[in-house]
Structure 1
Amino acid sequence: MASPILPGTGLGSGLDTGAIVKALVNADKAAKQGQIDRGTATNSASISGVGTLKSLLATFQTALKDLGSATSPQFTGFAATTANAKVVTATANNSAVAGTYTVAVTQLATSSKVASAAFAGGATSPVASGTLTINQGSKSYTVNVAAGATLQQVRDSINTSYQSSGLSANIVTDSFGSRLVLGSSTTGAGSELKVSGIAGLDMDGTVKMAATPTATSSGAIGELPVDALYSVDGLAMSSPSNTVSNVSGLSMTLLSKDTTTVTVAGNNDGLKASIQKFVDAYNAVANAVTSLTKPSLDDDGKPTVPAALTGDAMPRAILAAMRGPLTAAGAGDKLTVLSQLGINTDQKTGALNFDSAKFTAAMNDKKLGGEVQTLFTGTNGLLERMNNVIKPYTDTGGILDTRTSSLNKAKTKLAEDQGALDRRIENLTAVLTKKYNDMDTLVGKLKATASNITSMFEAMTAQQKNS
């Protein structure tokens, strides 16, 4: 809060009362203001440092989640490639065997699609109330149709209730009116859809609709669902799905009818890239801890400017917790510790060093590729253990949230202290200004009185001389 404007040189005393008041106020304020300023600077730096830690750990957890993905495995010991990815795509896991396979696709698995009779009034045509039953193989789905419901509302109810189960409904309009069309993502022979329960919506997916339909025609649209037919190295096979895994450790998705080759080989490059991602993500946290806790040094190596969290034990505690999983033995047979892959901790910085030459030797000479996934993503693997030690810090209401809350409370208290100090200084300034102004006024009066007395004596002296 601003201080009141002070007078300059006193008219009565000739003293710079403004400067005197300012000096007295500053002397009284200095100690407390310095304490608040230091506390504010330290608090702001701590809030920023904790925020940086929280962001870094969240990024690290995201990296762990991506590396541990079950749908896109990052640590498979083998990789599968296809000569023609438009025919077949393939992925290999750690139980795969290196080799080349000839895959011939002669028929793709297809799904069922059925259409109802036509409703002349279009999508808003009323539909009889009741229970619509959709059967597919051994599965059954029901939709309750209320009185006054329209064809469009029936479509919406099916999609809302069963789209997650692979069913989808739509409305197609031809020259006779609008038809309810049902489809399914389930493929293979025997997956025909059958709909019953409400007049006008009966559909039998085992019977094909006439090539030239009438208003009352209903049934299967297109071909009836069939199994996929294919062969691997001349061995004939079939599958109700286009995703097949008849070859040990190899999963293939059939995409079109043709012949191609699938090659399975060691995934050294992929493993190396995934390990490097882990090392980089870990080092981002380790290096940040160093920068947040290590003060700047002068030319003599003495600390000058403290870092955001210099002297704070929490960043070092985080790094110590993260180091624990690195040294714990994994559940593999031949591969149990990271050092076997050329990963070691730099004792000075706490970061990880990745020796690619040692990694290559482990893959080629010791044949450890098949165990890398177990080490990183197996039961109680490195990624899981690492995430477990971080969670207490990053969880909502966890250690970092608690620290941030405490720092924000301290920030509020410092602001309150500053406000209280400003008010006290304003009051002190006003009191001292009044006192010195009163003193100046009194001195002025005394000077005026003295001047009058002097004038009187001078006048009397002059009269005596003239007598």
Structure 2
Amino acid sequence: MAGITSSVGLGSGLEISKIVETLVNADTSAKNAQITRQTANNSAMISGIGALRSALTAFTTAMGKLNDKTTPSFNAYAATSANENVVKVTSSNKAVAGTYSIAVENLATSSKVASQSFASSTDAIDAGDMVIGVGSKSYTVKVGSGATLESVRDQINKEQGINGISANIVNGKDGARLVLSSSATGAGNDISVTGDIDALKIDGTKSMSENANGAGYVEGQAKDAKLTIDGLAVTSATNKISDAVSGLTLDLTGASASSGGTFTPTKVTVAANNDGLKTSVQSFVDAYNTLQKAIGTLTAVTEDADGNKVLGSLTNDPTTRSLLNDVRKVLAEVGAGDRLTSLSQLGINTTKDGTLEFNSVKFGVAMNDKKLGAEIQQLFTADNGIIERMKKAIDPYNATDGSLATRKSGLDKIAKNLSEQKLALERRIESLTTALTKQYATLDANLGKMKAQANQITSIFEALNAQAKNS
């Protein structure tokens, strides 16, 4: 204890340190025990809230991956390409099992044009409007006085990058040229430059050698992709084609090999995705069970080695209990599908401890006999599907302004208050120890004086008695 040293009073023989320690403990031990108990309980609650929020975040992250629109996890069909250097393919639930033969004659291309040549990239450019056309759209770049070819390039990139237009300067043997590119592919999307600045005008429908000013397209005009699907001719302004085959999206990546004008086709296969669906459903079950087990640990009642009950950090916590009920309620709600409306139809059932079990045999029957594969996506990822309803159930608790964040903020304030109480108590202990030690030291000194006086008086009387006997 602060300020107390082991000592015995010289005048009284009293153990001052022990007396002071006992008195200080009697005055402060109850409060100290209260603060210690409340701090431990509050710290456990903070830890429990943090662990619960981490578990909820992990669960919602897993749900987000299963609900990714760009790479759907619950497609009833899987499509594969025999040569992804020519075409990559993805499927949706609208696909039809079968094979397709795809030959790509050429990819869709965009426009790239070059201006007339200049002596250098620092050549002065007249002020005026530079109107850049791409297909039916046009964009105006207002060139100010004192501009150079370089500053015009920089201005185009700054102002028109958002529109898919970029500029650069290429220095060739005949001088410097401003080169413009567009991200818009397809026939008719050629770049043209008109306006007030004659030196920058470009007719993008002709080559540089065809135009009198030496400006024009660099390699060719923008063109559509050309391909055949099972021998049927298809054209597309882009290399991503989603309307040619029902349920399939084709990403053209290169031209097919050709010989004598004949292009070698690539085989695309579409088949039932039962294994992929099973993996995705199992991922949902695993993520849900991980969350349930985490909550179970936080709310469990166990026994220690002596048989005493040990409560989890969130045992009997009303917020956690409410959260658990809301999450479990989602599983019991009926889906909006035509034939598939519940998880039990896929072999998913709730066990006594709240976790899910997945019966793969029953799932196989649902896929192969009942043909429910095409409806799984709607059950899980459709608007108001299981994953969206799970998110709606969890958000009020785990959002940045949710009830758990509010609880954490309140607990942090309590922790700060308890810490301040602890410091105040320590100051009182130190002050009380100093005061009592001083008081008992004074008492000891006074007792020492009284003892010395008593000894002196005793000596006087003993001397008088001895003198009386000798007289």
Q: State TM-score, norm by structure 1.
A: 0.94
1:222 aligns with 2:219: yes
Q: Which amino acid aligns with 2:292?
A: A
Partner of 2:444: 440
Question: Which residue is equivalent to 1:147?
Answer: 145
Pair 29,345 (structure 1): closer, same or farther in 2 beyond 3 Å: same
Partner Cα separation in structure 2 for residue 178 and residue 355 of structure 1: 70
Shift of 1:394: 2.2
- Which amino acid is the alignment partner of residue 279 of structure 1? V
Provide the secondary structure at the position in 1 that maps to 2:192. strand
* Deviation sequence 1:188-220 (CA, Å, 0-9, x none): 111111112223221221011239x99x52110
User: In the aligned structure 1, how far is the partner of 2:329 from the partner of 2:124?
Assistant: 67
Please, which of 192, 195, 202 is the counterpart of residue 194 of structure 1?
Answer: 192
Shift in Å at residue 151 of structure 1? 2.7
- Residue in structure 1 matched with residue 341 of structure 2 by the alignment: 336
2:15 aligns with: 16
Q: Indicate whether 1:105 and 2:109 are aligned.
A: no
What amino acid is aligned across from residue 395 of structure 2 in structure 1? K
In the alignment, which residue of structure 2 is the partner of 1:312?
Answer: 317
Aligned partners of 2:456 and 2:219: how far apart in 1? 125
Measure, in 1, the Cα distance between the counterparts of 2:55 and 2:177: 55
In structure 2, what is the equivalent of residue 28 of structure 1? Answer: 27
- 1:257 CA displacement: 2.1
More moved, 93-102 vs 456-465: 456-465
- The aligned amino acid for 2:214 is S
Structure 2 partner of 1:65 = 64
Aligned-residue offset at 1:299: 5.9
2:277 to 268, 271, 275: 271
Give 1:277's aligned amino acid: S
Who is 1:237 aligned against?
234
User: Per-residue deviation at 1:272?
Assistant: 1.6
Aligned to 1:347: 352
In structure 1, list runs of 5 or more residues that go unmatched.
Answer: none
Contact 2:4–2:437 (8 Å) recurs in 1: no
State the shift of 1:396 in Å: 2.3
State the secondary structure of the residue aligned to 2:200: coil
- Matched to 2:227, the amino acid is Y
Shift of 1:175: 2.7
d(CA) in 2 for partners of 1:170, 1:232: 38
Report whether the alignment pairs 1:74 with 2:86. no
The AA in structure 2 aligned to 1:339 is: S
Alignment partner, residue 282 of structure 1: 288
1:204 match: secondary structure: coil
SS at match of 2:10: coil
User: How do 1:339-378 and structure 2 match up within 5 A?
Assistant: 339-348=344-353, 350-378=354-382
Q: Quick one: percent identity of the two aligned structures?
A: 52
1:401-453: CA deviations, max 9, x gaps? 11111001101110121122112222221221122111111110111001101
For residues 144 and 283 of structure 1, do their structure 2 counterparts lie closer, same or farther at Cα, with a shift above 3 Å needed?
farther
Counterpart among 271, 294, 300 of residue 300 in structure 2:
294
CA distance in 1 between partners of 2:143 and 2:364 (Å): 64
Q: What amino acid maps onto 2:302 in structure 1?
A: S
State the AA in 2 paired with 1:429.
T
Residue 51 of structure 2 is matched in structure 1 by 52
Aligned residue number for residue 387 of structure 2: 383
What is the TM-score of this pair, normalised by structure 2? 0.93
Give 1:157's aligned residue.
155
Answer yes or no: is the 8 Å Cα contact 2:97–2:271 preserved in 1: yes
- Aligned mate of 1:168, from 162, 166, 169: 166
Q: In structure 2, what is the Cα distance between the partners aligned to 1:61 and 1:157?
A: 44
Q: 1 CA distance for matches of 2:63 and 2:401?
A: 21
Looking at structure 1, the residues matched to 177 and 307 of structure 2 have their Cα atoms a distance apart, in angstroms, of: 83
Find the residue that maps to 2:380 and give its secondary structure: helix
SS of 2:303's partner is coil
State the number of aligned residues.
461
User: CA offsets per residue over residues 77-134 of structure 1, 9 Å max, x none?
Assistant: 1110011111111111111100011111122211111111233232x44332222211
The AA in structure 2 aligned to 1:313 is: P
Q: SS at 1:296's partner residue?
A: strand
Distance 1:460-1:184 versus aligned 2 partners, 3 A rule: same
Contact 2:78 2:271 in 1 (8 A): yes
Structural RMSD (CA)? 1.9
Q: CA deviation at 1:309?
A: 1.7
Q: Which moves more between the two structures, 419-428 or 384-393? A: 419-428
Distance 1:382 1:443 in 2: 84
d(CA) in 1 for partners of 2:281, 2:288? 11
Q: Is the contact between residue 6 and residue 433 of structure 1 (CA under 8 Å) also seen in structure 2?
A: no
How many Å separate the matches in 2 of 1:160 and 1:339? 56
- After superposition, the Cα gap between the structure-2 partners of 1:156 and 1:346, relative to the gap in structure 1 and judged at 3 Å, is farther
- Runs of 4 or more consecutive aligned structure 1 residues displaced over 4 Å after TM superposition: 299-302
